Structure 1
Amino acid sequence: MTEGNFVDYVKMHVSSGNGGKGSVHLHREKYITKGGPDGGDGGRGGHVIVKGNKNLWTLVTFKHRRHFKAEHGAHGSKSRSTGADGADVYMEVPLGTVVRDTETNNILFEITEDGEEKIVAKGGMGGRGNWHFKSSTNQTPRYAQPGIPGEELHITLELKVLADVGLVGFPNAGKSTLLSVMTSAKPKIADYEFTTMKPNLGIVEYRDFKSFVMADIPGIIEGAAEGKGLGHYFLRHIERNATLLFLIPADSKDISQEYEILLNELRRYNAELLDKERLILISKADMLDDELMDEMRIELDKDFKGTPYMFVSSVAQLGLQELKDRLWAMLNE
């Protein structure tokens, strides 16, 4: 999947079908002079339905199609014949999609399971035909119900990436490089900030044919919770991750301060993110010798206050199997 095809936010217009009109018909047949009312009911209008599809990773299918309209129900007819229901329209979305009412910004529902279906715009009911209104005092009613109009609304689809592990860090911290060596994903890697503009997903293969999903989230900058940099466009993807992996390069000016800034941005965006399990990775550890690593451990033990951390190097393949073991244990506790 190329970055240009990764679409995680789109506004749509949906409208369901109107219900068909009930029929006003009086039975006419040879030798039956007063057959009475026999107008049938109108058909139901079609629904607009959102359906989860585990094989989709992006909302790109909605990039050039912003309107979805279901069919109207057919009108009732003679002999108490009910009109056909309008055909439903399906919008297939990736798992982790949130559907909001654009005008109120309220969440209508979320799609998290494959095959899960939710009606976003309900089709109008068909009107009842005149035979329903026959009574002892009104033998030949010459009226029927009109169909109920369908619903029309503007919605926003918002994708939050579903992954077991989310990589969190400043731009150019080495997240894409780690993802490329831990998985078969091929993210864009370069020596400048904001190389990654969209989340990348990769499957980490573990022992005995087990696996888990890792997501490389675009880099955080200070003030991201207020929308600076890529703002909410990446922070919302972290909400779905079971475990957060904080990446801080060994050559950072102040590792502890960098970690606190990352924590603070998550806290300001959504304090519940801090309830997730987390592991700190000191990346680019191939730059350190054993003596310097031991000195850093003494400081980090005090600064991280019990939060687990590890030294790894994507380039030198240092500590990667141990990292897989650690993550698997965290995900399956």
Structure 2
Amino acid sequence: MNGNEHILEVKDLNVSYHTYAGEVKAVRGVSFYLNKGEALAIVGESGCGKSVTAKAIMGLIKGPQGELKAGSEIWYNGKNILKYNKSQWKEYKGGECSIIFQDALASLNPTMRVGKQIMENLMAHKQMNKQEAAREAVEMLRRVGIPEPEKRVQQYPHEFSGGMRQRVMIAIAFACNPNLLICDEPTTALDVTIQGQILDIIKDLQEKRRVSVIMITHDLGVVANIAQRIAVMYSGRIVESGSAKDIFYTPKHPYTWALIQSVPRLDLENKQTLMSIPGTPPDLLDPPVGCPFCTRCSYCMPICREAMPENTDFGEGHQAACWLHHAMAPEINMPDLRGVRSQF
């Protein structure tokens, strides 16, 4: 890949939280890139470091609890944002880069009309006057499919349903034409029909405006229709990354196999037991020395407990960190995932 195509490059990101119990190593040596106009999905179970990575990119890791470790780099359009001054941060947050959180009710100001919340962003980053911002706020609500936007801009967040509140969040995020959009589990609390509508809105706006998107989710079904590339995250590390086709059709890491097998299937008989991943993720107060997935992996070998595997490159950007791909590892057969893939 030509480095000039990268709008974002994260290099050796390490984030810790200092708690009463000790240091929680939430993100451990994460590196990835995002091309202009591309959608990258970061997938994994809860607690694997996805949202912490998103907060780091948005500059939301705050001390004294949160700490970005020395050596971490986040490059946006050729500049390391971790060296930004106050005015650069102000321009970047909300203007260059926006985020959609999973809980819209917690993210929106309950005491302020939604129209004013959109207007604030426009007036801060687009230098619009009050009248121009008010017109644009109505237009943004119309674009995200909210009926009667002229009336709805005057309402408060509690007067909207969950799906409509999430549409308001999308309107705020897209109002200033950001170059980079982070969606942190944007459909988690919504029913399946509304989820589809929200994802369609994000995809449509992304394609029309050529916005680069990072989609953070635990649901591979969400990823299938929106992402060109996928990074699979576990225990604060990226264990596999590649194109969506690579991850769905030729996954190389046992954790990725397990995630795909855990997707509910439509072709099975009623009341058949859903697949689940046994065990629990490791405690990041005391991360394992070896592969973090070793305690839950049915292919675990003694080396897996002793040392973290290097990334194996399978070509065209597809990489996985697993000892099974070492020259001295035994031959194993990947599980048959054809029935699961038909769900996507």
TM-score range, shorter chain: under 0.3
Q: Which has the higher contact order (CA 8 A, sep 6+)?
A: 2
* TM-score (normalizing by structure 1): 0.24
Where is the helix percentage greater, Structure 1 or Structure 2? 2
**Of the two, which has the highest radius of gyration?**
1
